[in-house]
């Protein structure tokens, strides 16, 4: 059962509602500090899963090659286009609930949609939840999303809560697809998959504090490549070099 996905979706809805109630009671300094704390939490989650790596060369190659694939396919641009499309639908459903100018509102809402629906942590957490029954990644993400939604909804309004709908649809698709893949996986492949997701979570943390704009969306294909590459490494490369 996709417990983690349900909890994550509810946290976004609740955070959006709380933000509407609190309004501007949260000062900008506190919001900036919380953003830095969110980034540290994302990095900590990433480091905690990177240590589960079983085949370092396979994971490194997957991250590099996957990022190249994402760049060649213009994945980050495609994610932004999809977010803009979702943004138009959400705004039509709710109308204007923001105190921001239209241009500023569009930019921030686009960021919210990408952050909640296309984050490496969410994609990784949904698949791990399905494959191993471990919902801890999504539950930890839910705590972060609760406060993130609260902060953004202070300026955007109830529209932030609506982002939970496309988020849950995307994560549920990943959840059920991963359930088909899991019986074909070995423990080593799962460990490498977790480590690859950890690299993306670490990059997400750096991006959240605007220290470096890592191409997080372009890195997503590495999560599809890491398992077959890990299998090839263990069954063909390692026996050959040994």
Q: Domain tally for the chain?
A: 1
The model's pLDDT over 161-202, given as tens digits with 9 standing for 90+, comes to 888 988 999 899 989 988 888 788 888 998 898 899 889 888
Domain of 68, in residue numbers:
3-241
For residue 44, what pLDDT is reported? Answer: 87
The tokens describing 45, both together, are 């989650």
The winner for highest mean pLDDT among 6-10, 30-34, 135-139, 166-170 is 6-10
Residue 213 backbone phi and psi in degrees, to 5: -85, 75
- Whose CA is closest to 119, among 195, 14, 46, 32? 46
Which of 59-68, 71-80, 84-93, 135-144 is least confident? 84-93
For residue 5, what pLDDT is reported? Answer: 94
pTM, to two decimals: 0.77
């Amino acid at each position: 059962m996709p417990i983690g996905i349900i909890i994550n979706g509810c946290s976004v809805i609740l955070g959006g509602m709380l933000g509407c109630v609190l309004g501007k009671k949260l000062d900008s300094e506190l919001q900036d500090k919380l953003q830095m704390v969110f980034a540290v939490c994302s990095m900590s989650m990433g480091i905690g899963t990177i240590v589960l790596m079983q085949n370092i060369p396979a994971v490194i190659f997957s991250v590099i090659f996957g990022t190249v694939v994402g760049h060649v396919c213009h994945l980050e641009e495609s994610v932004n286009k999809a977010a803009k499309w979702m943004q138009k639908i959400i705004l039509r459903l709710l109308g204007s609930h923001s105190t921001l100018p239209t241009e500023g509102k569009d930019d921030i809402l686009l960021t919210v949609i990408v952050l909640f629906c296309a984050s490496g942590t969410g994609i990784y957490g949904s698949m791990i939840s399905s494959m191993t029954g471990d919902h801890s990644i999504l539950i930890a993400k839910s705590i972060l999303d609760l406060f993130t939604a609260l902060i953004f909804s202070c300026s955007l309004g109830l529209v932030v809560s609506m982002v939970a709908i496309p988020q849950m649809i995307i994560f549920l698709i990943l959840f059920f697809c991963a359930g088909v893949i899991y019986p074909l996986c070995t423990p080593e492949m799962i460990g490498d998959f977790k480590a690859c997701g950890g690299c993306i979570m670490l990059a997400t943390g750096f991006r959240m504090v605007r220290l470096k704009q890592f191409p997080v969306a372009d890195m997503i294909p590495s999560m599809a490549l890491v398992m077959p590459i890990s299998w090839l490494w263990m069954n063909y490369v390692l026996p050959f070099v040994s």
